């Protein structure tokens, strides 16, 4: 298990898209699998993370950049997924104009294709890798949670190496490796040692992924505030 230490991390700017992106500006409704109900569900659960201050934008955190993102698979028969747009942390609720749909994700080639009113989150590569790794994953939540991140080793949270940057083929490869070498598929959570406070949970439903997140948060708080 990799010990997470914020003092050893190089400065990393939030929200920078590091993959090759082919983006088509279009309305979400133009995608054949788009569902307004799915978007409303996604934005509702994003709002819960926003209220928990694990998705958002704060001038005192991460140089004031937005942080955290959330996505949902559009259909069981497809790896296409709906995801929050890049740097959309500030609003309490998002509109249809602040989302994107990833239509192709090729981690090994560092390439993503997307469509929508806005470009996808800089973490879209990691989300796409998760959907490809397991057909049982229908939603992914990436938050910034200092409590879990700092206690990842004590909580036995599977963790990517500190030298693996977010939003890259290396991160996608590291996540794939976690699936083959750790219990992450059952735990449904992992931390990014090289991405300050970065924690990802996933599941078949947002309820499941959020329960995992809050359960580990409670355990982290118990460890640090006894």
What CATH number should be reported for the domain holding residue 161? 3.40.225.10
At residue 158, the pLDDT reads 98
Confidence of residue 13 (pLDDT cuts 50, 70, 90): low
Q: Is residue 63 part of a domain?
A: yes
Q: What is the pLDDT of residue 1?
A: 36
Looking at the predicted structure, is the pLDDT value of residue 130 above 90?
yes
Mean pLDDT across 75-97: 94
pLDDT surpasses 60 at 115: yes
pLDDT at 36: 97
105 in a structural domain: yes
**Quick check: is 1 in a domain?**
no
Report the pLDDT averaged over residues 15-41. Answer: 92
Is 85 a domain residue? yes
Higher pLDDT, 123 or 30: 30
What per-residue confidence (pLDDT) applies to 11? 41
pTM of the model: 0.91
DSSP string, the chain: -PPP-GGGPPP--TT---SEEEEEE--GGGSTT--HHHHHHHHHHHHHHHHTTSSEE-TTSGGG-EE-EEEEES-TT---EEEEBTT--S-SS--GGGEEEEEEEEGGGTEEEEEESSPBPTTHHHHHHHHHH-TT--EEEEEE-HHHHHTTTTTT--EE-TT--TTSHHHHHHHHHHHHHSSHHHH-EEEETTSTTEEEEEESSHHHHHHHHHHHHHHHHHHH--
- pLDDT for residue 12: 52
Residue 25 lies in a domain: yes
Where does the pLDDT of residue 18 fall: very low under 50, low under 70, confident under 90, or very high at 90 and above? confident
Condensed to tens digits (0 to 9), the pLDDT of residues 184-225 reads 999 999 999 999 999 999 999 999 999 999 999 999 999 988
Would 201 be classed as within a structural domain? yes
Number of domains in the chain: 1
70 falls within a domain: yes
Domain span holding position 216: 6-224
Residue 10 has pLDDT above 80, yes or no: no
């Amino acid at each position: 298990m990799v010990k997470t230490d914020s003092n050893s991390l190089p400065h990393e700017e939030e929200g920078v898209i590091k993959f090759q992106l082919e983006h088509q500006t279009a309305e979400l409704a133009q995608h054949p699998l788009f569902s307004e109900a799915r978007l409303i569900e996604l934005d509702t659960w994003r709002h819960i993370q926003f209220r928990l201050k694990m998705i958002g934008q704060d001038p005192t955190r991460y140089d004031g950049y937005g942080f955290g993102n959330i996505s949902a698979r559009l259909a069981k028969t497809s790896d296409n997924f709906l995801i929050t747009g890049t740097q959309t942390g500030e609003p309490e609720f998002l509109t249809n104009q602040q989302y994107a749909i990833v239509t192709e994700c090729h981690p090994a080639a560092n390439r993503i294709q997307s469509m929508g009113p806005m470009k996808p989150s800089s973490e879209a590569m990691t989300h796409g890798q998760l959907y490809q790794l397991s057909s049982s994953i229908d939603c992914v939540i990436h938050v910034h949670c200092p409590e879990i991140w700092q206690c990842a080793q004590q909580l036995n949270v599977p963790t990517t190496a500190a030298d693996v940057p977010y939003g890259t083929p290396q991160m996608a490869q590291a996540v794939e490796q976690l699936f083959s070498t750790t219990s992450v598929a059952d735990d449904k959570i992992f931390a990014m040692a090289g991405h300050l406070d970065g924690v990802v949970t996933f599941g078949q439903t947002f309820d499941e992924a959020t329960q995992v997140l809050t359960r580990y948060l409670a355990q982290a708080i118990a460890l640090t505030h006894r």
